[in-house]
Structure 1
């Protein structure tokens, strides 16, 4: 009886802890600035990202850009995006769901073959802070297992939190699972496929908010993005920007931390 009571108390404590974490669910947001100044976000968000090794922006003292795409499903434009990236020799990160891995395996293989990063966007796209630790782990492990099965690659280190929701528990648990949470300092309403407004609209929306260190969130379901991407890359380079991968960003952060500790 004593063992049973102890077990029940432990379960109750675990449940109350997880419920307590879930009470506070943050929705990622950023604050764009004018004149191509770097975007900002809430201090509380930045503190949490610093604590759990996440990021939303790169080194703002350099004109560097990081292209990231969310791939929840395929809409026929990822091939065009990959063609442009290959032609322009630009690296990108693609965050994929279980649905994408099952429905577009050839494109996922191509991403890897052409040197892009494939990140985890969860299997079913749930709000991670609102599911249990066990469910969270399963959501991420299923993606990684399927990715390895498809490509033979075992490395998957970057996570784009589905729906942009997070809290301290989700950041802590995903870090424990070996993931770096990647948020963003630029995004626009590009995912609504029935509200596309043309390549010029996408080009102008992106170029008006470009800033040093920007982590750009784009959706590959957008026809506008696919058609504007080449022009965006050319104009950014004309303005003195370079495109780097998330791996390069992490390496530079690692060097910076080492210098600060030295």
Structure 2
């Protein structure tokens, strides 16, 4: 497993480096370190979505309310990794969930400090935990698409990639209330087919600037140090709320958020404008 992970991460890093050459402004370079996750264990029937709150009626990702179905976007050649904007504003993102053991604790911390974050969910996890997606919607968070089974997309056919993405968007729409506007490729491994399909489905590819490497369970203090040292205007922070024991991530977020807020940082979600 470790050998396979090194191969996947090496390939993802190479893809990120190649994409960086063609980026400008919002685009930098990056690679995903999300670990492959086992399918969820059999459990009770997923609960239906909660009643939409006022947050669902507000525009979450732009100056105007998004259309019922995402509009096609331009085809990119590299993922977005930095957010434009003024002031000490950062983006918090969480991959691989939702997980009933860890995601609720993260949501509790975000709610305590009135912070919005972006959750890139996997369809197989979302399908079993639709109530958590409904809570994300109710509390003003953004939910993005992270495929159904977390595969290495560069090894799949175009049809297989489409199935991974579309099935996840379907579940998100049912539980969250709208189809996702943002996509993150597992392992940070984008290719031409992925970018084209993202554009066709009205999603923008979003990667990150600061990798906490929390999937390696390096210790709570190490995760905190990496995020605090990487904090800067416009950065996108990568965390994971599933795919293994994420108790270190839960504790880290609980610790560094008030510190960064005291230092004058603000946290928001990715934004898109509609005309």
TM over 0.5: yes
- How many pairs does the alignment contain? 215
List gaps (5 residues or longer) in structure 2: 1-9, 29-74
Contact preservation (8 Å) 1:57, 1:215: yes
Output the aligned Cα RMSD. Answer: 3.0
Written as runs of structure 1 = structure 2, the 5 A alignment for 1:1-262 is: 27-28=12-13, 43-44=20-21, 46=23, 52=76, 54-59=79-84, 62-72=87-97, 74=99, 76-151=101-176, 153-192=177-216, 195-197=217-219, 199-221=220-242, 222-247=246-271, 250-251=272-273
TM-score, structure 1 as length reference: 0.72
CA distance in 1, matches of 2:15, 2:239: 15
SS at 1:155's partner residue? coil
CA distance in 1, matches of 2:174, 2:85: 38
CA distance in 2, matches of 1:148, 1:227: 30
CA separation of 1:77 and 1:49: change in aligned 2, threshold 3 A = same
Q: Compare 236-245 and 69-78 and name the one that shifted more.
A: 69-78
Question: Greater helix share, 1 or 2?
Answer: 1
How far the C-alpha of 1:236 sits from its partner, in A, is 1.4
SS at 1:56's partner residue? coil
CA separation of 1:45 and 1:83: change in aligned 2, threshold 3 A = farther
Structure 1: which 4+ aligned runs deviate by more than 3 Å? 28-31, 40-43, 47-51
Q: Compare 220-229 and 134-143 and name the one that shifted more.
A: 220-229
CA distance in 1, matches of 2:268, 2:21: 27
TM-score, structure 2 as length reference: 0.69
CA separation of 1:30 and 1:190: change in aligned 2, threshold 3 A = farther
SS at 2:238's partner residue? strand
List gaps (5 residues or longer) in structure 1: 1-24, 32-39, 256-262
CA distance in 1, matches of 2:87, 2:158: 38
| Post-superposition CA distance 1:145-187 (Å, at most 9, x none) | 1222334x12311001111101233212221221100000011
Structure showing greater radius of gyration is 1
